Amino acid sequence: MNVTTKYDRPNSYIGSSVPRPNAARLLQGRGRYVDDKILPRMLHAAFLRSPHAHARITRIDTEAARALPGVVAVYDGAEIARHVTPWQGVLTHLAGMRSPDQPALAIDVARWQGEPVVMVVAQSRAIAEDALALIEVEYDPLPAVTDMEAALTEDAPRIHPEIDSNLCWQRDIDAGDVEAAFDDPANTVVERRFTFGRHTGVTLEPRVCIGDYDPSEDRLTMHYSGQAPHMMQSVLSRHLGVPEARVRVIAEDVGGSFGIKIHTYGDEIATMAAAKLLKRPVKFAADRLESFMTDIHARDHRVTARAAIDAEGRLQAVEIDDITGIGPYSVYPRSSGIEGNQVINLIGAPYELPAYRARLRVAFQNKVPMCQYRAVGHPIAMAVMEGIMDDLAAASGRDPVELRRINLRADDSYPSASPQGMKFADLSHQACLDKLLDMMDYERLKADQDRLRAQGVYRGIGFVNMVEVTNPSPMFYGVGGAPIAAQDGATARLDASGAVHVANSITEQGQGSESILAQITADVMGVDLADVHVTTGDTATVPYGGGTWASRGAGIGGEAMLRAATALKDQVLEVAAAILQGRPEALDIRAGNIVDRDSGQIRMGLADLGRTVYYRGNELPDGVAPELIATRHFKVSDYPFVFTNGIMASHVEVDAETGIVTLLDHWVVEDVGTILNEKLVDEQIRGGVVQGIGGALYEECVYSEDGQLQNATMADYLVPMAGEMPDIRIAHVSTPTRTSELGAKGAGEAGTAGAPGAVMNAVNDALRPLGARLSQMPMTPERVLKSLRQGG
């Protein structure tokens, strides 16, 4: 697709699919992941973890472990707690939320299977693991609270004695007259209960960190595989007692994160504490088993939904009850309330909806902590609403597309707001729907479907309309007291050779953030892409900012970059005008040269300018004091979020005898506003769709009733693999956001947000002639078979 933007001219990179500048380095094995770093005198940490979901720790004997040659230190929870203050994962704007103090290592009681109990620091990881085998811990098992609904009953065992129930947070929304809509006999009403399994984000590179403490300056450096270095800097300072300015967090290459590496993990904090205590670098690299038992899990919802349409098919009311289980603690500092909050905030967002009621309950349980993972809350909100839309279509005898068309917000209706109070602008549901139907050839597909059904072949088509949270403002976290910046900063500077160096507070974890920063800078500055050098991820060298999460990198960090590069360009032209004795407005930069804006005639190279300024300042006219460096910050104001929209369709075949679902096609139309690099956007969407399909069909953290994780290996926990994936075709509608000059909205989570619902609707469309319906993810073959037996 060709998008013409105001940036189309020589050195135009915004909107073009340039290859990633960092690809060659990574492909040649020159990546600098944390585990590649070997520091002098470095030690290695390993953790003994609770084998019980809930147990009192009655005795810890570490003597034999301490005596093992090569072991340098052994710490239990009480010992670490002397050097690390506990944390609480609550946000004040989520009113009424509570979560008790969480220690780095369990003290007295372990509350999930996998919670760290004892830490060993040794000369090598292998020795540390040998030592773990020598530690004796006696546990007195306590009743495990695993089912989220059972957790909230009166007589459920309490996970935290200091809290009067296992309820972490409840939120209710009541807007418009829901009851009247359900009572009106002229309306069609449907109701359905959905179950969404727990899954987790499986990153290629696990969580890895190195703590490196220099007592001479009281400086702590954390080498970090994560998404939000400045947040981590603040967390370390708060809980380890090192002044914030003396904490440095360095996140160089990161091998995937998906929201996993944006939280406070006790094992990582304990590693920093050990480095400080031992005054030697300490590395901790989670292995796969530890990753499954400690990386945050995601989703885990049970939702009951009810909705009504009038005789014309117009939505009259939606009512939602969502209960979600978050493990024993709300995760610090983002809290585990945001996921459910987004579910009830986003349901119904694509549609004109007069009345809405919702109740969200967030329950503690004895499982791995649950928190924000790619597309936080969206897959649940989309799957529930779009599942209900299909039910309403079937109940009222309408085609699913027809019912959606009746209800979609009109492209000319913005700005507008939902009953939940979400403010929408610059969305394009209708244009996206038209484009999608065109791309997938819906009418032909339906004809094929009918023909094949007669032969006993069951194919289904499923749709999902999406509204996604991107580019959040301070209303997301900062307002609730979390040390998480909503703004990002960018610095651009010209060096003596005429090259441009930029530093930005957003991070790169594989999605191409650094590429788009280079593109924006080269485009604005009028230089070759190869002459832009990007630094991210180091709190000592980049401006202060939030990092890359919530689909905010391009929209916020990108806009800051645009402004910094624009300011640098103005500075350069001012100096050039002084040297060339002209006016800055009459000059421009093209292909790395200062040129006459109108004629294009080259006046001097940027390298000449750099050398003149830095080496031969004496040649500059009197009074010219050049600054060839500019920093700008940007945050979204006026809107709490920059919402984006899109639509997806999935086409599947279900083997009614085996329950196996074969994915045939997947289509996406997405409006990301200004497209900075279409290839990167498309691959973000594809990767996201695959991750969404994972949740829909394959991925689930399976627990026994007593809270034992049953499938903590890559053989048993099924991630989606290429062989099963359909072709994913993508098209765009581009409505730039009015909140920035760049116009970019987020693109990183769209695929994950919509794919599960699209696939679920497609599976149910295939099952419909067989009288079955499935409302539980993942839709395993066995569950499909059971739904066929039970008839939905």
Write the DSSP symbol of residue 258.
T
6, 41, 193, 288: which one binds another protein (CB under 8 A): 288
Residue 235: φ, ψ to 5° = -60, -45
Candidate residues 23, 417, 602, 721; the one interacting with another protein per rule CB under 8 A = 721
Residue pair 310/300 in contact by the 8 Å Cβ criterion: no
By the rule CB under 8 A, 428 interacts with another protein: no
Q: CB-based contacts of 721: which residues, under 8 Å, 6+ apart?
A: none
* Distance (Å, whole) CA 41 – CA 46: 17
CA distances from 606 to 21, 500, 532, 595, 624 (A): 21, 10, 13, 10, 17
CB 643 within 8 A of CB 671: no
Among 200, 491, 509, 780, binds another protein (CB under 8 A): 780
Specify the residue, 131 or 190, whose C-beta has the smaller distance to another protein: 131
Query: Binding string, 111-140, against another protein, x = CB under 8 A?
Result: --------------xx--xx--x-------
For another protein, give the closer residue by CB, 626 or 720. 720
Tell me the window of 136-144, 418-426, 570-578, 712-720 that interacts with another protein (CB under 8 A): 712-720
- CB within 8 Å of 6: residues ≥ 6 apart: none
With CB under 8 A as the contact rule, the residue among 289, 529, 586, 624 that binds another protein is 289
For residue 486, the minimal CB distance to another protein (Å) is 39
H, E, C per residue of 48-96: EECCCCCEEEEEEECHHHHHCCCEEEEEEHHHHHCCCCCECCCCCCCCC
Does residue number 706 form part of the binding site for another protein (CB under 8 A)?
no
Q: Tell me the two tokens of residue 248.
A: 């440095």
DSSP state of 780: -
DSSP 3-state helix, strand, coil percentages of the chain (rounded to 5)? 30, 25, 40
DSSP string covering 161-186: TTSSSSEEEEEEEEES-HHHHHH-TT
497 or 710: CB nearest another protein: 710
**Residue 573 or residue 701: which is nearer to another protein going by CB?**
701
Q: Among 433-441, 458-466, 669-677, 779-787, which window interacts with another protein (CB under 8 A)?
A: 779-787
As given in the structure block, the two tokens for residue 400 are 């699913």
Which string of x and - marks every residue 341-370 that binds another protein (by CB under 8 A)? ------------------------------
Q: Does 101 bind another protein (CB under 8 A)?
A: no
* Span of 327-335, 364-372, 615-623, 710-718 interacting with another protein by CB under 8 A: 710-718
Least Å from the CB of residue 694 to another protein? 11
Question: Among 31-39, 286-294, 478-486, 521-529, which window interacts with another protein (CB under 8 A)?
Answer: 286-294
Measured from the CB atom, the residue of 214 and 287 that comes closer to another protein is 287
Calculate the CA 264 to chain-centre distance.
Answer: 15
Binding of another protein by 658 (CB under 8 A): yes
- Which of 645, 471, 457 minimizes the C-alpha distance to 552? 471
The nearest distance, CB 702 to another protein, in angstroms, is: 6
Determine which residue in the list 185, 215, 623, 723 makes contact with another protein, applying CB under 8 A.
Answer: 723
Annotate 97-162 with three-state secondary structure: CCCCCECCCCECEECCCCCEEEEEEECCHHHHHHHHCCCEEEEEECCCCCCHHHHCCCCCCCCCCC
Q: Is 776 in the site for another protein (CB under 8 A)?
A: no
CB of 436 to another protein, least distance (A): 28
Q: Both tokens of residue 391?
A: 């039910």
Q: Which is nearer to another protein, 163 or 289 (CB)?
A: 289
Closest to another protein by CB, 113 or 227: 113
**Interaction of residue 657 with another protein, rule CB under 8 A:** yes
Residues 400/145, Cβ–Cβ less than 8 Å? no
Stretch that binds another protein, among 47-55, 406-414, 667-675, 715-723 (CB under 8 A): 715-723
Contact positions vs another protein (CB under 8 A): 125-126, 129-130, 133, 287-289, 657-658, 660, 698, 702, 710-711, 715-716, 718, 720-721, 723-724, 780-782, 785
